[in-house]
Amino acid sequence: MQGRLSSPVAGRIQAFPVDDWQEEFSTAEKIGLELMEWTLDHEGLSANPFMSTSGRATIRELSARHGIHVPSVTGDCFMQAPFWKASGSVEADLQEEFLAVLAACRVLGVAAVVVPLVDDGAIETEEESRLLGFLTEVAAEFVGSGVRVLFESDLPPVDLARFIDRLDPEFFGVNYDIGNSASLGFDPTEEISAYGDRIGNVHVKDRSRGGTTVPLGEGDADFESVFRALGAVGYEGNYVLQTARASDGDHVAAVVRYSTMVAEWIDRHGA
């Protein structure tokens, strides 16, 4: 539920499709998708159906009717308003929002919340300590709930491995974003060798090095190496399309095309 099956929201490549979110369930069913990852933006967070009892009831009904599972959430809201960079009452309010998202996930049976530590959410040393301090406390409440926090990070492989090794694997893991890693010039084999056993979700996109998202196969992502490395570590999680929008406006056809490409990579490398 990232808007990729409908027209872009305010020209953004990814945003919660406020006007079309219910229709995306039926569209996903028609093209053979079985899951979708929900997106939470900070703007309008409280009005997002994910965050209300009635909204969650509608999500359950649509999921059952169309056979579409929602196993994960992209917490773009945390990147847009990171509590680990705030202070005072603002920090407290943002932390409460974070806890509310986790609670909503538990109610809906959503297994993973992706927390982007990139762009406005990227962490420095002091911010890392504040983030980990808070989340360690949170883990005591949510371990065993079926919900995990998966960090998407711009840290180099060794540093990210060191970071995630400090945290309880039952509650914390890694969201691997293929395109972001390509943009940063990281070696996927080195990355996945360093922390592959902690990867709980994969975002599929392509980016040019130092650049923005482009159609799959037109950027610098080494998909063959990525899927080969994921297969080697026995990754069995989900693949979520965070791909480029269609230049011709046919966004559904683009998703179908990208899904086929990903299925072929998975089949070829056993990922």
Taking only the tens of pLDDT, the chain with its 271 residues reads: 678 999 888 888 899 999 999 999 999 999 999 999 999 999 999 999 999 999 999 999 999 999 999 999 999 999 999 999 999 999 999 999 999 999 999 999 999 999 999 999 998 878 888 898 998 888 888 888 899 999 999 999 999 999 999 999 999 999 999 999 999 999 999 999 999 999 999 999 999 999 999 999 999 999 999 999 999 999 999 999 999 999 999 999 999 999 999 999 999 988 7
Beta carbons of 39 and 77 less than 8 angstroms apart: no
**Of 33, 98, 78, 59, nearest in space to 238 by CA:** 33
Q: Which two tokens stand for residue 213?
A: 């998202």
Q: How far is CA 250 from CA 7, 29, 68, 123, in A?
A: 9, 17, 21, 37
* CATH, domain range 21-269: 3.20.20.150
